[in-house]
Amino acid sequence: MKKLQKVAITLGILILVSFPYIVPNPYLVRVAIMCGIYMVLASSLNIVIGFTGMFSLGHGAFYGIGAYTSALLALNLHWPFWVTFPLGGVMAALFGVLIGVATLRLRQIFLAFTTLGFGEITRILILNWDSLTRGPMGLPGIPIPTFFGMRFSQVGYYYFILLFTGLVVLFIYRLYHSRIGRAFIAIREDEVAASHMGIHLFGYKTLAFTLSCAIAGLVGAFYAHFARFISADQFGGNESFAILTMVALGGTGSIIGPLLGAAVLIIFPEMFRFLAQFRMVIYGAILIFVIVVKPGGIVGVRGVFEKPVQAIRAKRSHQKGGH
């Protein structure tokens, strides 16, 4: 079994590495790059939602903060991508800490509302801070990264995001099987018991939130230099919900789940382009369907979606039994 797994992983990596040469189609490579970006976003949100059991609805904002930070530094100060990319992550992490300290003492639905609010505030701020962000006109002409003096080709972008996604998944895998990951999951499972094990609830919640934001900020920085044009509406509530749907569909609390969810929800809209205007409707329907029918998603263990559903079911069966 272990050997089979190793063979499968090696084969998977080989296919992914040779992908742009097997399929030298710029459109498909672009779709693959978008898959990578959303796999990272969904995986990072999963640290908060799936592992630690906190409901965050503002993930798109941290993605946007990373994108705008990197783009503005590159456009205004002409700093190279290799400097602005990590700074995108740092800035998102800083905002993550700030928002975390302010909100993470709240529980469940209250946390969901405050993060949703923060997401909107960020979008509106970007939209209206004309002197810095050019407001609704967005930021065009973000420079292409260079690698030893050579500008990124599309294949270059592909390899960069492939490597980055791989590193993020590896990091999350290690985190999951470490003291810190176990503390996150313990908090999701039972906060009271977790604190009796010596786990500083607030500290670990903030850590989970910050890590998640940092990763989203990094991939946001990448996106800015890949798309070369960014605007506020790319990082609003719709974006947050799309990422949330990916996590929910794939499966909260598992490592593979968000990757699966991201792949499905990037590839299917490409195949069904004629349904484009119904995209958010379909996402909403998927979200409701998953929560009601299979709160663990395709491969998930358990996350924030299962608890409220269980609570409602328990209440209902209790009421039925009572009469």
Residues found near another protein in the complex (CB under 8 A): 171, 174-175, 177-183, 185-186, 189-190, 192-201, 207, 253, 301-302
Q: Would you say 47 and 175 are in contact if contact means Cβ atoms under 8 Å apart?
A: yes
Distance in Å, CB of 210 to another protein, minimum: 10
Residue identified by tokens 């990578």 is 36
Structure tokens at 279: 């995209």
CB of 310 to another protein, least distance (A): 11
- Alpha-carbon gap, residue 165 to 186, rounded angstroms: 26
Provide the minimum distance between the beta carbon of 92 and another protein in the complex, in angstroms, as a whole number: 17
In DSSP terms, which residues pair with 151 in a beta bridge? 146
CA gap 228, 231 in Å, rounded: 10
Pick between residue 24 and residue 166 the one whose CB is nearest to another protein.
166
Question: 303: which residues sit within 8 A by CB, 6+ positions away?
Answer: 49, 50, 53, 188, 247, 248, 252, 253, 295, 296, 297
* 151 three-state secondary structure: strand
- Minimal distance, residue 203 CB to another protein, in Å: 9
Provide the minimum distance between the beta carbon of 190 and another protein in the complex, in angstroms, as a whole number.
Answer: 5
Quote the CA–CA distance of 85 and 97 in Å, as a whole number.
19
Is the Cβ of residue 151 or residue 196 nearer to another protein in the bound state?
196
The nearest distance, CB 49 to another protein, in angstroms, is: 15
Please identify, using beta-carbon distances, which residue of 191 and 270 lies nearer to another protein: 191
Q: Between 119 and 258, whose beta carbon lies closer to another protein?
A: 258
Quick one: 130 or 190, whose CB is closer to another protein? 190
Choose between 22 and 167: whose C-beta lies nearer to another protein.
167
- C-beta of 179: minimal distance to another protein in Å? 5
What letters, b where the CB count within 10 A reaches 16 and e where it falls short, cover 191-201? eeebeeeebeb
What 3-state DSSP class applies to 176? helix
Of 150 and 192, the one with the shorter C-beta distance to another protein is: 192
Please report, as a single letter, which amino acid is at residue 174. R
- Please give the torsion angle defined by the CA atoms of residues 262, 265, 268 and 274, in that order, rounded to the nearest 10 degrees: -140
Q: Which amino acid is at 189?
A: E
